[in-house]
Structure formats: structure tokens, C-alpha cells
């Protein structure tokens, strides 16, 4: 859950909750203490430090404690990102999907903290997919602003794109980054708006949300080119609406953890 930050020379730490016991349970391993030590080393080194938190059913009501932890660690940025449900998130949706009431309380808490902190540290709230009927742009647009290079040299338009069918992802060992970005079929497949069908093609928001998340569209419909079901205009929106109505209603399911060698 740690990696390079959103700007050069920055570092990020990820936690599941604001205390060691709950954070370690969410992570599936004892990791909180190591992250705390790493955060201290980053600050000693004089680097900007960000705290990334994936929000879900088991930690939304602990948002105050999470922000307080970030302040104690001296972070420059706290990203509060509501969980997206594809990949292992989809497998754990029954355990992670919150209720509307939880989201409303958390959103109010973020507003209070922003007013109190005055932008220092920066507090980022990444809106949830399932509840507002508005799709989020996939990585700011497929092949538009960022890329991911995997340890084996595979280059992806987004970190989860390896799950999608279609053209093989290019590898930095075979092509230059310039060729991969400008000419590879994988990066051009969902770039821009020409690939879209309706309702996206005729939608006034097509240059803003770019049809939503390709990975989520594939995970829920089996077709990566369909409108993201999170969008209220999608013919598949009923899938998401049904899940959102159930969020937080049933007893929480056990987590299915991801371990090395375990395949989704």
C-alpha cells in the first residue's frame, strides 16, 4: 500500500484505520507499526508525505481518528478514497460496501475537518461510485494523464487494466514509452470518445467522465466498452443501484485476503 507519490520526491503510506488493531485486521497482516516507522523515516528525510486511506464499511465511521493519525504523523496530504469494487474489491463487496448513512456522516466529517485545517494538510475526498449515479473518469481518461509500469516491464493505462481482455499490454522491453503511449493498441483502445456507443457517445459529460471506469464496466457486465454501470444513464445502472440499496444492511461478511500466489 506504499509507493511513489503523486509528485516527484513524495512518498505515500496507506493504512486501513487509525489504530493498530483494526488497521492490521483490515490489512490481513501486522503492518501498522512498520508503516508508522516508515512515515517517521520519510519525515526525517525531509520528503513530502501523503496518507492514503481506502474508505469502506469498516472504517468510514473512524474518519476522525484517521485524520488525527495523519496529523500526528505530520503528513502533507490525506487522500480519503472510497473503495472501488472491482478485482479483489469486488470479491469483498459484501464486507466493504457501506450504507448511505455512513457516507453522509463521513462527508460531513470531511467538511468539518477541511474548515478546521484550512488546507494544511490537504484533505482529498474521492467520491464513491455506487451511490451518486455519476461515473468517475477512469484515471482522468484512458491513456490521457498517467501510466503504470509493472515489475515485469508491462505498461498499463491504469493499475487494474491487466484484467481486461483485448490487445496484449505492451512491454517496456519491446518498445519505447513514446511508442507505447502514442501508438500501442492497448493505450488507444479507450482513449478519447470515438470508441463510445450510446448513451456515452451523445452525452454532454463524455469529455468529463470518459464513460467511467473500464475495469468496473467489465467486472459488472463482461464488456469493457459498455457505459460504467455507476452512471445513472447506463442501461446496467440497476445492478449498482441494487447493491447500493443493500449496502450496510446485512451482517458484514468475512474478508477474502490477497496473498502471494492467490489468484482472483
pLDDT, tens digit, for every residue of 58-96?
A: 899 999 999 999 999 999 999 999 988 888 888 888 888
pLDDT, tens digit, for every residue of 106-124?
A: 999 999 999 999 989 999 9
Report how far residue 125's alpha carbon sits from residue 114's, in angstroms, rounded to the nearest whole number.
10
pTM of the model: 0.77
Report how far residue 252's alpha carbon sits from residue 234's, in angstroms, rounded to the nearest whole number.
28
What interhelical angle do 237-246 and 214-221 show, nearest 10?
80
Report how far residue 246's alpha carbon sits from residue 248's, in angstroms, rounded to the nearest whole number.
6
pLDDT at 231: 94
- The radius of gyration computed from the CA coordinates of the chain, to the nearest angstrom, equals 19
Lowest-pLDDT choice from 47-51, 190-194, 245-249, 253-257: 245-249
pLDDT at 208: 92
At 70, give phi and psi (nearest 5°): -60, -40
DSSP string, 132-185: SS-PPPGGGSTTTS--EE-TTSBEESSTTGGGS-SSPPPBTTTS-HHHHHHH-H
Cβ–Cβ under 8 Å, residues 182 and 227: no
DSSP string, 39-104: HHHHHHTT--EEEEEEE-TTTGGGHHHHHHHHHHHT-SEEEEEE---STHHHHTHHHH---HHHHH
Amino acid at each position: 500500500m506504499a509507493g511513489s507519490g503523486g509528485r516527484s520526491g513524495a512518498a505515500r503510506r496507506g493504512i486501513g484505520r487509525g489504530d493498530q488493531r483494526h488497521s492490521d485486521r483490515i490489512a490481513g497482516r501486522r503492518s501498522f507499526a512498520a508503516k508508522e516507522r516508515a512515515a517517521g523515516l520519510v519525515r526525517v528525510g525531509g520528503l513530502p508525505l501523503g496518507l492514503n486511506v481506502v474508505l469502506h464499511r469498516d472504517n468510514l465511521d473512524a474518519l476522525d481518528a484517521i485524520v488525527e493519525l495523519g496529523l500526528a504523523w505530520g503528513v502533507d496530504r490525506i487522500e480519503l478514497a472510497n473503495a472501488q469494487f472491482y478485482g479483489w474489491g469486488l470479491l469483498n463487496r459484501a464486507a466493504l460496501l457501506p450504507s448511505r448513512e455512513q457516507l453522509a456522516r463521513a462527508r460531513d466529517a470531511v467538511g468539518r475537518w477541511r474548515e478546521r485545517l484550512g488546507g494544511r494538510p490537504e484533505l482529498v475526498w474521492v467520491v464513491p461510485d455506487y451511490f451518486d449515479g455519476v461515473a468517475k473518469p477512469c484515471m482522468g481518461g484512458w491513456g490521457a494523464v498517467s501510466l503504470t509500469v509493472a515489475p515485469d516491464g508491462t505498461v498499463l493505462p491504469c493499475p487494474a487494466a491487466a484484467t481486461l481482455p483485448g490487445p496484449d499490454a505492451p512491454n517496456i522491453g519491446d518498445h519505447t514509452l513514446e511508442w507505447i503511449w502514442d501508438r500501442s493498441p492497448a493505450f488507444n483502445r479507450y482513449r478519447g470518445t470515438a470508441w463510445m456507443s450510446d448513451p456515452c457517445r451523445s452525452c454532454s459529460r463524455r469529455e468529463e467522465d470518459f464513460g467511467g471506469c473500464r475495469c468496473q464496466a467489465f467486472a459488472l457486465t463482461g464488456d469493457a466498452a459498455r457505459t460504467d454501470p455507476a452512471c445513472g444513464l447506463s442501461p446496467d445502472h440497476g445492478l449498482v443501484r441494487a447493491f447500493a440499496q443493500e449496502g450496510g444492511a446485512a451482517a458484514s461478511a468475512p474478508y477474502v485476503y490477497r496473498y502471494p500466489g492467490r489468484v482472483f
